[in-house]
Amino acid sequence: GAVVSQHPSRVICKSGTSVKIECRSLDFQATTMFWYRQFPKQSLMLMATSNEGSKATYEQGVEKDKFLINHASLTLSTLTVTSAHPEDSSFYICSARDWTGSYNEQFFGPGTRLTVL
């Protein structure tokens, strides 16, 4: 299956700092990547859809100025959490879509655990 990597796997930062998370598709080109957030013991929630060469589409309730997404190439999308606060502490997971016909099969990265002190 397709491989998606994510970096870093874990980050601890002070309140007010910005954190950048990278998501890469290693063996396929992904015109679309997705960013999810998962709080402890909860489900995954879609934050935004990242499209190569265009602006990201954010889900309702997700602040686009706080969660900056850049999909600079067909294999890389980045999520920057700006001015992070303790409530932003979460598990952030990206996925990349490898189209199989018209269906939406996605491959997930290993996730990034963000802890904001």
- 4/81 with CB nearer other proteins: 4
Q: How far is the CB of 89 from other proteins (least distance, A)?
A: 14
Residue 110 makes contact with other proteins by CB under 8 A: yes
Q: Segment 36-55, which members bind other proteins (CB under 8 A)?
A: 36, 42-46, 49
Q: How far is the CB of 87 from other proteins (least distance, A)?
A: 20
Query: Which long-range contacts (C-beta less than 8 Å, at least 24 apart) are formed by 105-112?
Result: 106/34, 107/1, 107/2, 107/3, 107/4, 107/25, 108/4, 109/4, 109/5, 109/6, 109/23, 110/5, 110/6, 110/9, 111/6, 111/9, 111/38, 112/6, 112/7, 112/8, 112/9, 112/10, 112/11, 112/21
